[in-house]
Amino acid sequence: MRFFSNVLKAAAVLSLLTAVLSERCFSQSRFDVFRDNGYYILGVNGGEVIPNEPSDSPVLGGVFTTGVNIGVGARMTPMDESENWKKLWRCPYFGLKFGYEHITSKVVGERFSLGAFIEMPFAVTSHWDFAAFFDFGLSCLTNTYDSLSNPDNLFIGSHLNALISLGLQANWHVTNRTALYTQLAFSHSSNGTLKLPNKGINIMRMELGAKIRFTDGPYPVAGQQRKVVPDAVVNDPRRNSIFLNLSPVYNSSRKTWDHHFSASASIGYRRMGWGKVFAYGGGVDLMYDASLEKAHEPHLPKNNYAVSAYGLLEAYWGRFSLRGAVGYYAWRGSDFALPFYERIGVYYSFGKRVRQYVGASIKAHAAHAQFLEWTYGISLVSW
């Protein structure tokens, strides 16, 4: 009964927030895409917590979840040739979701989440579309580590955490206004070592739900609606650029759990590929991790710097992008981790010539986060 009461309370709050957002934000003329193609989302889910490693099984093994997601979204349909990227992505879905999950373990407590999502169809029929999706946002877990009251929670050190989810989804368009969906998702919550411990919580879940459009009728087709202002990102004929990233970092020492200010900088080359929805390239990273100061072994040099080379692949949806990179350390002052690392982040481009961007990314070693980077970047030269 307590679980169902919590679900009803969460559903009521999320419904109110969704209604306010859709009324105050998405009904304005500049949000015509929501007016014409927008929809509400309601889904219920169930799943299981996946331990990070076998040693975590005594605490997280056999722990299950049940929850609800409520949100708003829209399907992107091209209104003009300048929005051809929407056609290349097969008219993707995007939006915001609020979620609540009951976890059958008092060690980590309940989870609340707020995130943006993008859903990319890869197979489409007259009544079905099958898609891959990616969510990125924030999550709150109600119970965190405490040496006295909750010593078994070596997974979550802070209430506020980053949220990353990905998976596959099938949409069945029952009518022009209603679609039913089923989703298989892997979800991860952690704070990027802002506060330790930080092993994170992994959940594998199945979700069933419905999308209810704001208005009736078929989705608009290209040229049927208003003309749009050409997007400089898509229409810029230049495909090559040299960029510079600067990323301040606030993280914790894995040895002492003390907090430190760190930083990373990167210079690289990027080339826009097919339809300007993909880019590839590479670069050089210079990293300073002050949290290593007390983590050095006696026989190793005490140096907190590292230099590395990396390759990147980036996907674009207009001004938004998702970038993944894999790097190799050319030199490290401390042998603190594997010689390889990975980075994944989301970014938004802005400015009169759309040369600047901001975003957030997680740098990790074999999926174990080293730190969370807040990034400002700029294209120095384009041709």
Measured from the Cβ of residue 12, the count of other Cβ atoms closer than 10 Å reads: 11
| The pLDDT of residue 264 | 93
End-to-end CA distance of the chain: 63
pLDDT in tens, 178-221: 999 999 999 999 988 888 888 899 999 999 999 999 888 776 65
The amino acid present at 58, given as its one-letter code, is P
> What is the Cα Rg of the chain in Å?
22
Sign of CA dihedral 278, 282, 286, 292: positive
Is it the case that residue 295 has pLDDT exceeding 60?
no
Averaged pLDDT score across all residues of the chain: 84
Indicate the DSSP class of residue 150: B
Cα–Cα dist 191/200, whole Å: 8
Identical topology for domains 2-213 and 232-382: no
CATH 3.40.50.1010 matches 2-213: no
From 2.40.128.30, 3.90.1150.10, 3.40.50.970, 3.40.50.1220, which CATH number describes the 232-382 domain?
Answer: 2.40.128.30
| The pLDDT of residue 32 | 65
Indicate the DSSP class of residue 193: T
- 3-state SS class at 10: helix
The domain segmentation of the chain, as residue ranges, is: 2-213, 232-382
The amino acid present at 147, given as its one-letter code, is S
Asked whether the beta carbons of 213 and 39 are under 8 A apart, the reply is yes
- Indicate the length of the chain as a whole number: 383
pLDDT in tens, 126-182: 899 999 999 999 999 999 999 899 999 989 999 999 999 999 999 999 998 999 999
Structure tokens that stand for 343 in this block: 């980075």
Task: Residue 315: name the closest of 343, 360, 277 by CA.
Answer: 277
Structure tokens that stand for 167 in this block: 């998976």
Non-local CB neighbours of 292 within 8 Å, separated by 6+ positions: 253, 304, 334, 336
